Structure 1
């Protein structure tokens, strides 16, 4: 919200010499964040001049210029720049006549840009200044011709300071308005906040409107027929709670907008269009109530506020034909829709150059309905920005009367004797504020009088009751719904600086959940091993989901974004691998050839044929019930948290006496072991297959016998398509599943102090038998004496039957109460071999 200081000063007293920084500092004290400052960036001398004569001179380049004689000071007096009263000026515009009064920028002045003005020779003349256009002065976008003061209704003496005359000496502060403080989207609201911060006397502009000259008739629409027929309200809230109308007849649409209004609108960020439209925008900024004006003669019958029906369309003021939604709240007449309520009017009833009779509308619309409509049609407007934050329902009548008043004063219109007001502002319920509640919540000792005065200052009706106060919030504060809101207002008005800076003591029994601890431990373990954490975008193509999200190539469902940032990747990922591949490609293209990266992130696994997101969204200002939350959660696809790892290039560089160690499947398996160890789980590997991975170099990852992911090497075809090295090791596991399967308590094993017995065992088995199955059988058969088993060799070749392999295990035996004999160790080893032979057909290699 931009607030011109001259406008603000109409409703609060600004001390002499108040700067933009002073105003910002005052508003910051009451919680309004400063954003920027805005000025016209002009320096004088810039004065009113009168065109005495001009000569048109065609040029060789085809352009015709005017050599003008312009009076810039009263006769007999020097000009503001110290020169003669009449200046010769070259001008390329041709939209002025002799006798016109214009704005002259004399030598020494500076226009926005900055663009300094000096006497300079051009087109064979010395141009002693410049005749300015509205755009050059920063008043508008019109650069087709110079600014004639008569078009603004101004007739000032020659030599008058044009900066002050046009309101160009004004400046504005800009503040950030949070969604809960929509009342600050108005001069009225900001002036009230400035008064809170400084103690300045506040003059409510709504109370200053001479409503008696255009009386209201509450509950009646006799002045103009209006009906609200909302048969499908959102969450039980009727679309329009208040609807005020005024009629002004016989306006002169050709009258110019006063210079002071143009300047204020410009500083507030709104360009001047026409006097009637400028007046509605001016009142919206002043009172915070969006206003819409209709060409009364273009209306057919009365106005009906209703929801849209299937197939209806509306051409809005921006010239676009919009297909309407059943939730859209409409303004209609006998022909159909004439406006999107609270968002934008329609083209059929637009106020134009021939409009003489105006119907003024000031209504209060449901915030949720307006917000949804504006987003649905991608049509944000100054009106919707205010309605979706909440507009004061009690100001509609005053705002309509203010517009009527300005149309009478500035446009020469005549207001009808009566206006109408359909419904009155709904009454607010009182909020109970117990004694001591604010002190207990904020931590500052506030007296009862301080609490009472602060709440009364914001406009609340405060009544003393046994044990506290009953507070009825003002109509312009829809955000005040509970006692905690009132406590915040007390703290805000009495000063945040009174709140002590005390570090709170964390209550016992709180802290990170087990899942959070494990996730952090996994990330730390991978980082400690040299991996780098990355965050990839969760958006993928349908083909990537089909390849990486489906192990066997069967069709999979995906979550498609309704408004994707990139049309080539409109789906949410089913796997982390595509994102890691993208990271690898980007880094390889920049010369980083050796990569070890990982990501912890969510994947999205919808069920095929199931509809998601069908639950109705709750209203925004109330906490949903548990049943509503459960319904919303049921409408969301499964989103487990995965860990993905990618390794490429050399993990150990070549050094003197040591060869390089390229990444491969073993490194992917090691990464999974680190993840499992950090989670307190025992991991197992088995031969697996995945369409995106290398046949024969893919492992299934299991915890407690349940599948949790894959590890291995990417298929060479995919690495070639992605311009990656031929060997790229990857792993992806379901971390949520691992945490659920892992034991919460990790048992520490005692370190044996008695001597160990070590032996080797070589078993010949079929090549298709997984080594892990053989190892499990040996471990079980050897019994409790076996302390460690490790596969040290996998031989396939000469000396073995075709289709077989030799697996050599290093075994370590130890007893906790005695020194083992060689015979005891051998017996345990042979028991393991026997069980392996029974289960897998393994034979001891001779």
Structure 2
């Protein structure tokens, strides 16, 4: 985020006298620029001027010559005969190893208690046989230059002030003189306010907030030279050959070049510029590079400096070709994408054959400015924001230039910014402006916005008169006229975010003051509560949590290795995962096709951290990669038309909601009264049963024939194959059936899967399609019956049926025959043996019935029992076990 220093801001706007950094923060917040942080000054504590009174040079045993100095620091002096080392002169004793000063020089002294850059704290200490009661400072120690061999002599550093007799007296602070005592304000910039990434933009907003006079240094007439050189016939040739523009917009619509020759390669960057770059969080590199960075920070126009002797004209702006690579300034070789916009040159006459840099993002190493560069080509261009944003994200390269281009840069600023760089290189680098200027300009003014005069009042609730509306929009920089009750405004070149009436209303409200908008409590609208699906999700979550599971929320991103770890077959359609274009992590580029894809990883991390009891569940979306149509992107500049909307909807993959759980550890902990019990496949099935009961959805559990596909015939693999139920154990896995369709699986995980994820071999899991469950929920509202005060009747019924008949089917018949009297039915015993006959089993049910109108008679109880026996005999040929 941008850093704002008051001293720098004063170049653009007349700051109100007495303004400190906190007041500046308050003034900027009023116009929507939020404070991110206030950073303290570079130097804290006493930093004063000192006059060298004596200098005693002594050679040490290590051969090093050390100076013991007595320095006059005014009110900070020791009294004569006092101090840590008594002296006849009012002064302080200081050890110094530099030799570029003499008696009588005015130097910079940091006294005990001062804190220098890098949190370097000054204290009195004994060294070389003396007590050094302070430190005489060099430029590097104060962070204002690279010179460390010699200390600062103020007469040499500031000769003009010395000649005018304006240097400080001994003991006076030099913090302000050296620009070291200034706090900086870091502000938070929203994506639509890209122009505030420059001091020019911040100054404009400060003027809006306070009414202070603003001088736009982005205008040619406000340059020191008073004008910008026009394009010349001999300017460096530039061509734009964007054959595949993004969203139909050419990637570059303006490209300015300037040439400066004969620069002193060793010319230092002026101290004031170095300080400002450091205030902005940037380091000084060389004069040419520093000049481009400084102008970018000051005006908002990213620039780039090339070593002219390494560039072969013409420059061609084009898209990347398949297989092209570029080594950027950060010394990283990058494989280029056909959508990347490039700056290229033409060695040996082959136009656009060599890549010089990623346009608007970062330059290449082949033409960078070095310590030997004497001739510089300055580039100032205007690029299409969407193209730059995609390139920066694709290469994970959020440079200072890309941050500005992707938010929109003033398309009129390029020639002014280039002129500023040329002026700096001529003044401080001894270079010569060649006079060769190129300006390829295909920019167009922004479209006019038509806004009804009543629109601000409609959207804000505050009445603004016509004069206020037009005046505030003119302050923004718009060209404004009023016709037939409408305001027609043309946004200025630095505000690409103004595209509709709502944006103009926002500017009016912002500049008029958000505090002028009254606070009115809106009339509350009666809430409609949760939707049925939301209630179902909440109730299921509570039920599973009450059963001992912990709900988790995992990232939906996975690697391709997960499918191998889960033993999915090569043709398993769950491998057809959707790939994310810009993944958060390169090793996890896919969207999960099953909740177990991520839940198993969560269990692995818990086990690895010593959490051996890990019973977890998650409710979330999975993404199916099949059955979708790929479509292009349409940008965000305008709402998609109906055809584009339909195409986008077809391109969205199917994303059903699932519920899954992983069970690791003990279902019942061992104790003094119990040996404990580990989770097994039956617990996984029981949790699915809990979901079904919570939603009142009839459900069947199928056993060995459960090696079927999940949810439909295109999900789990070939029927009967081990991978069909992966990642489950094929012999310890149950199918969950709702309305005749398999909607999930529950059981023990395959031993190989457990090994792959570092889980115990007894680990179990379940996963069901929540969409299918909610679709099967009863449509009628839940009817709550009053609790009966009459006693219940209990009947145990043991039925002998064929061994392949599911107990759940028998239980459904019992429930139906018991009718409204039924309070509970529970299977409490399953038995098979020779006495029942081959292929037979006994199912024993406990049935509890109760009436709300009176105590049930023996005949009423018997009638229910008889109906149950007859109905099961008819449907299952069941017989009552003796």
TM superposition score category, shorter chain reference: 0.7 to 0.9
The 1:401/1:28 distance shift into structure 2, 3 A limit, reads same
Question: Aligned match of 2:273 in 240, 261, 272?
Answer: 261
Secondary structure at 2:575 match in 1? coil
Helix, strand or coil for the counterpart of 1:486? helix
Query: Which residue of structure 1 aligns with residue 716 of structure 2?
Result: none
Determine the structure 2 residue equivalent to 1:68: 67
* Structure 2 residue 617 is the aligned partner of structure 1 residue 615: no
Which residue among 248, 254, 257 is the counterpart of 1:245?
257
Which position in structure 2 is the counterpart of 1:640?
656
How far apart in 2 are the matches of 1:244 and 1:702? 69
**Equivalences for 1:673-712 in 2 at 5 Å?**
673-687=689-703, 688-689=706-707, 690-693=725-728, 698-712=733-747
Structure 1 spans left out of the alignment, 5+ residues: none
8 A Cα contact 1:394 1:424, kept in partner: no
| Residue in structure 2 matched with residue 44 of structure 1 by the alignment | 46
Structure 2 distance, partners of 1:85, 1:331, is 65
State the SS of the aligned residue for 2:366: coil
**Is the contact made by 1:211 and 1:401 (CA closer than 8 Å) also made in structure 2?**
no
Match of 1:406 in 2: 424
SS in 2 for 1:206: coil
C-alpha displacement of 1:603:
2.3
1:387 alignment partner in structure 2: 405
CA distance in 1, matches of 2:772, 2:606: 31
Match of 2:801 among 744, 762, 765: 765
Q: How far, CA to CA, are the matches of 2:562 and 2:693 in structure 1?
A: 30
TM-score of the superposition, structure 1-length normalised?
0.86
1:555 to partner: Cα distance: 7.2
Matches within 5 A, 1:321-470: 321-335=333-347, 336-417=354-435, 419-423=437-441, 425-470=443-488
Partner of 2:537: 519
**Alignment CA distance shift 1:154-1:374 (3 Å):** farther
In 2, Cα distance between equivalents of 1:637 and 1:65: 75
Contact residue 757 and residue 812 of structure 1 kept, 8 A: yes
Quick check: 441-450 or 798-807, which moved more?
A: 798-807
Aligned partner of 2:29 in structure 1 is: 28
- Whether the 8 Å contact between 1:65 and 1:90 is mirrored in structure 2 is no
- The 1:504–1:680 alpha-carbon spacing in structure 2 relative to 1, beyond 3 Å, is farther
- 8 Å contact from structure 1 (residues 577, 732) kept in 2: yes
* Corresponding residue number in structure 2 for 1:188: 200
Write the distance in 1 (CA, Å) between the matches of 2:558 and 2:328: 36
Checking the alignment, whether the CA contact within 8 Å between 1:186 and 1:288 is kept in structure 2 is yes
> Aligned with 2:413: secondary structure?
helix
Distance in 2 of aligned mates of 1:594 and 1:215: 73
1:532 aligns with 2:536: no
- Deviation track 1:726-760 (CA, whole Å, cap 9, x = no partner) reads 75554321112222233433463878999998755
C-alpha displacement of 1:196: 1.1
Aligned-partner SS, 1:394:
coil
Q: Name the SS for the 1:799 alignment partner.
A: helix
Q: What SS does structure 2 have at the residue aligned with 1:248?
A: strand
Match of 2:351 in 1: none
Once residues 385 and 493 of structure 2 are traced to their aligned partners in structure 1, the CA distance between those partners, rounded to angstroms, is 15
Task: Return the offset for 1:768.
Answer: 3.7
Instruction: Give 1:122-133 correspondences, 5 Å limit.
Output: 122-127=127-132, 129-133=134-138
Deviation at 1:92, TM superposition (A): 5.3
In structure 2, C-alpha distance between the alignment counterparts of 1:531 and 1:92, rounded to whole Å: 70
The one of 141, 144, 152 equivalent to 1:139 is: 144
- 1:653 shift after superposition: 6.7
> 1:221 touches 1:421 (CA, 8 Å); kept in 2?
no
User: For residues 542 and 201 of structure 1, what CA distance do their matches in structure 2 show?
Assistant: 60
- Cα RMSD after superposing both structures: 4.2
Aligned pairs (5 A) from 1:57-96: 57=59, 59-60=61-62, 65-68=64-67, 81=77, 90-91=95-96
Cα 1:423–1:571 change in 2 (3 A) is closer
Distance 1:497 1:682, change over 3 A: farther
Q: State the 1:564 CA deviation.
A: 6.5
Q: Residues of 1 paired with 2:375 and 2:775: CA distance?
A: 72
1:734 aligned residue: 769
Structure 1 CA distance for aligned equivalents of residues 515 and 554 of structure 2: 42
- The structural deviation recorded for 1:613 is 9.1
Corresponding residue for residue 715 of structure 2: none
Per-residue CA deviation, residues 513-557 of structure 1 (Å, 9 max, x unaligned), is 443343233223434555432223434565644565859995741
SS at match of 2:367: coil
> For residues 233 and 775 of structure 2, what CA distance do their matches in structure 1 show?
65
**Inter-CA distance 727–832: structure 2 relative to 1 (3 Å threshold):** farther
Which whole-Å CA distance do the structure 2 matches of 1:119 and 1:826 have between them?
A: 100
